[in-house]
Amino acid sequence: MTGRPTRRTALLTALGAGAAAALPAATAHAAGGKPTPPVAVTDQKSRRVLVLDSRLPWESPDAVRWAFSPEGDERYADLEPEASWTYVDEAKARRRRGRTYLLTTASFGFAAVVEVPTGRRYWAGALAGGTDTVNPHSIELLPDGNVAVAGSTGDTIRLYTASQGPASDTYAEYRFSDAHGLQWDNRRRVLWAIGHDELIALRVGGTAAAPTLTRVHTAALPHPEGRSASGHDLSPVVGRPGRLWVTTGYGVFQYDIAGRAFREDYAGAAQISRRSVKAVSDVRGSGRVVTTVPEPGLEKSWWTTTVSAHNPEGAYVLPDGGIYKARWWVPESR
C-alpha cells in the first residue's frame, strides 16, 4: 500500500526538478518595499546546495528556487563527486560578464564555479585524495577569472588559473594556518582571508596565467586570553562598505578596514554575536542578517535545521535538514 508522500519526500522531489529550473530575479520585495532575497544553504544531509525562497515556508516544495549537486552530472564526473562532494560547506553568488555563478566547495575536495541556472562548469577541481587532505572550506572568484580556494586542513590558500580553462589545475599557493574564509575586495584589489588567529589581505600579482600572492595586511583576531580565535567566516558588510563580517569561535565582529579595528557596534549585535557562528551575511537596504549555528541532537555536531534571521528576529526551518552555511542569494559583481 502506498501512502501519501511526506513533506520531506515532496521537497526532495522538487529539488531534482529545481536543478534545471530558471532562478528568478535575485531580489523580491516584501511589504514596505524592503528586499527579501532568496537564501542559499549548504544542506549536507541531502548533499545539495539549495536556493530557497525567503518568503515561503521551507517545508513547501514551492520554496525551492534552484538546486545543485554534481552527482550524476557527466560534466563533473572526472572529479568523482560521489566522494569529493561530501559535506558541502560553501555557497556564494557571483556575477561576471553578464552571467551568474554559484561558488561552492565540499570538505572531501570538491571546488567549483557553476553557472546558474544551467549547471555548466566554469571551473572545477578535486583538491584532496587519499592522505593528501586539503579540506576546501571557502572559494572566491576574482575579476580576471581566476579562482581562490581556502583549505583548512591543508593550511593553504590556492589561486587556481581558472581563466585558462574549466579544468586548469595550475595554482599559486600561500600557506596560511587553518584557512577558512575568503573575500575579494573590489575597491582595494586584495583578497581577504581568515584563518586560525588572523585576518589577512593578499595582493595578487603576476599574470592571469601565472599569478602570485603576497601578504600586505595582517590583523590579529579577537580571542579570549589563553585561547585561539578559531576564525571561521568572512563576508562583506554590504550595508556598511569598508567593513567585513568576521566570525570566530567566540563571536561575530565587523572589521573596520580603514580603522584597523574589530567592532561590535552594529545593529542586532546582542543577538547575532554568539559562539560558533558558521556563516553571516546582510542585505543592503533592509539591514536583515542571516546566520547559522550548530543545533544539538542532529546526526553531525556542526549541522542545523534552522537559519536564524535578525533585524528583526526570525527563523527559516528546513525540516530534517543538515545545514552548515546559509547566505543571502545576492550576486556580487566581479
What are the pLDDT digits (tens) for 176-224? 999 999 999 999 999 999 999 999 999 999 999 999 999 999 999 999 8
Let me know if domain 36-333 sits in CATH 2.130.10.10.
yes
Q: Determine the 3-state secondary structure of 16 from DSSP.
A: helix
Position 34 confidence tier, pLDDT thresholds 50, 70, 90:
low
pLDDT at residue 133 in the model: 75
Residue 148, all three cell numbers: 581562490
CB-CB contact of 203 with 237 (8 Å): no
**What does the pLDDT average to over 89-102?**
98
Residue that the C-alpha cell 562583506 belongs to: 236
What are the distances in angstroms from CA 258 to CA 187, 217, 242, 244, 255?
A: 12, 12, 7, 11, 9
Average pLDDT across the chain, whole number: 91
| Helix residue ranges per DSSP H, the chain | 7-18, 81-84, 269-272
Count the neighbouring beta carbons within 10 Å of the beta carbon of residue 265.
7
Name the CA dihedral angle for 23, 167, 203, 108, rounded to a multiple of 10 degrees: 80
Please give the distance of CA 24 from its chain centroid, rounded to a whole number: 20
Residues 98-108, mean pLDDT to the nearest whole number: 97
pLDDT for 64 equals 97
Angle at 79 between CA 24 and CA 151, to 5 degrees: 85
Q: Would you state the pLDDT for residue 233?
A: 98
Indicate the pTM of the whole model: 0.91
Helix or strand holding residue 112 (H, E): strand 110-116
**Which residue ranges make up each domain of the chain?**
36-333
Q: For residue range 137-185, list pLDDT tens digits in order.
A: 999 999 999 999 999 999 999 999 999 999 999 999 999 999 999 999 9
pLDDT tens digits along 302-315 = 999 999 999 999 99
Q: Check residue 23 and give its pLDDT.
A: 52
